[in-house]
């Protein structure tokens, strides 16, 4: 009995410690302005739709939960849509981070971001977002932005697959243009080495630790053969059995669009198995395995593998920070009626 009591004290101490650390990080990330951020962030707040459209969050959550229950992979797709939206910032074009520019299709005046190399034949989940938007337009016309739908849908997707939530501040507005060149230059590629990853995330104001935490998004979702073929056939820091398994669905020639789970252990669960896979040399992408290749991020990978709850807290805090990257607010941009086109 005494031993059991002592164990409970230790568990309580650990959870309290995690809470203290995470609370400190939350305070820092939510109140500071990143190098990519703007002072307009203060206009965002979690209660933005409390009176204008009080059912908005419930509507989004219901549709996201339903979509993920039908197809768990959709959770990763919606999370990725938000990430690929926020990371593209071209101030001279008023493409400002989390502004739903990624949802715009090509027009006569601009080429959209969906045709960028990191996005083409890859991004998905547009139908889910449009269905949510259509329902919200019926409930409260012209009120809820597509950018806010993306931000909330990403959070609800992570929760639906077992992750922790985070408070999403609301009030983003939608861009009236998009940037193909920005998407090609700003989004981190799966072929990057560790230094390249660090640089790409630092440009958006993220620390190395936050980069490692956000990489954990790869605990869900799938990757196309063309993006990891070189790794499974040419690299040495890969488990041979794992490489052979991946080769079965990714031949040296052809099959570019064949899909394999990024986290082969628990592909539809938001957990820390991704980091354990890296320790075992089972990272699918070159950029994944770079996090555990003898560099300065290896110790953090070990921590996340051993203490999944720390990863989940850190991921949530980093996502909170990412969701506030340079939003359009106030009278900037517009509230689109349909997410794929400007009004």
Please give the structure tokens belonging to residue 9: 């004290």
For residues 186 and 37, give the distance between their C-alpha atoms in angstroms, rounded to a whole number. Answer: 15
Residue 263 annotated as binding site: yes
With CA atoms as reference, report the closest residue to 262 among 254, 251, 253, 273: 273
CA 312 from centroid of its chain's CA atoms: 13
Was 174 annotated as part of a binding site?
Answer: no
- For residue 135, say whether it is annotated as part of any ligand binding site: no
CB atoms within 10 A of CB 26: 18
Instruction: Check whether 241 is labelled as a binding-site residue.
Output: no
Residue 128: CB atoms within 10 A of its CB come to 24
- Give the angle 228-67-335 at the CA atoms, nearest 5°: 95
Cβ count near 308 (within 10 Å): 18
Phi, psi dihedrals of residue 214, rounded to the nearest 5°: -65, -30
286 is catalytic: no
The answer on whether 218 is annotated among ligand-binding residues is yes
Q: Annotated binding residue at 69?
A: no
Find the catalytic residue in 6, 82, 84, 286: 84
Q: Is residue 266 a known part of a binding site?
A: yes
For residue 191, CA distances in Å to 12, 47, 227, 235 come to 41, 40, 8, 12
β-strands 95-96, 89-90 pairing:
antiparallel
Q: Does residue 156 have a known ligand-binding role?
A: no
User: How many angstroms separate the CA atoms of 144 and 54, rounded?
Assistant: 11
Catalytic residues: 84
Binding-site residues, please?
Answer: 85, 88, 97, 99, 101, 113, 188, 218-219, 263, 266, 271
Binding-site residues for substrate, please?
Answer: 188
Binding-site residues for heme b, please?
Answer: 218
Binding-site residues for Ca(2+), please?
Answer: 85, 88, 97, 99, 101, 113, 219, 263, 266, 271
């Amino acid at each position: 009995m005494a031993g059991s009591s002592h164990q409970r004290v230790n568990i309580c101490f650990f959870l309290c410690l995690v809470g203290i650390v995470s609370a400190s990080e939350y305070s820092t990330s939510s109140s500071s302005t990143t190098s990519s951020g703007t002072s307009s962030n203060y206009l965002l707040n979690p209660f933005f739709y409390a009176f204008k459209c009080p059912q908005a969050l419930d509507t989004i959550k219901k549709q996201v939960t339903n979509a993920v229950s039908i197809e768990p992979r959709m959770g990763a797709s919606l999370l990725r849509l938000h990430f690929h939206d926020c990371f593209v910032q071209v101030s001279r074009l008023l493409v400002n981070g989390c502004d739903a520019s990624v949802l715009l299709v090509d027009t006569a005046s601009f080429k959209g971001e969906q045709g960028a190399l990191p996005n083409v034949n890859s991004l998905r989940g547009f139908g889910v977002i449009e269905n949510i938007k259509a329902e919200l337009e019926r409930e409260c016309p012209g009120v809820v932005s597509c950018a806010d739908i993306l931000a909330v849908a990403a959070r609800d997707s992570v929760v639906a697959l077992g992750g922790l939530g985070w408070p999403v501040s609301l009030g983003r507005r939608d861009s009236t243009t998009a940037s193909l060149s920005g998407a090609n230059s700003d989004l981190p590629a799966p072929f990057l080495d560790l230094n390249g990853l660090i640089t790409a995330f630092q440009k958006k104001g993220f620390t190395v630790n936050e980069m490692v935490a956000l990489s954990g998004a790869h605990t869900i979702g799938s990757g196309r053969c063309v993006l990891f073929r070189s790794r499974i056939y040419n690299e040495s820091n890969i488990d041979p059995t794992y490489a052979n398994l991946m080769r079965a669905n990714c031949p040296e020639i052809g099959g570019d669009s064949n899909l394999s789970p990024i986290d082969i252990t628990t592909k539809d669960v938001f957990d820390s198995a991704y980091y354990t896979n890296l320790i075992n040399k089972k990272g699918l992408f070159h950029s994944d395995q770079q996090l555990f290749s003898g560099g300065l991020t290896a110790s953090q990978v070990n921590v996340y593998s051993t203490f999944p709850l720390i990863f989940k807290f850190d991921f949530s805090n980093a996502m909170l920070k990412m969701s506030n990257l340079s939003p359009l607010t106030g009278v900037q941009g517009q509230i689109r009626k349909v997410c794929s086109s400007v009004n």
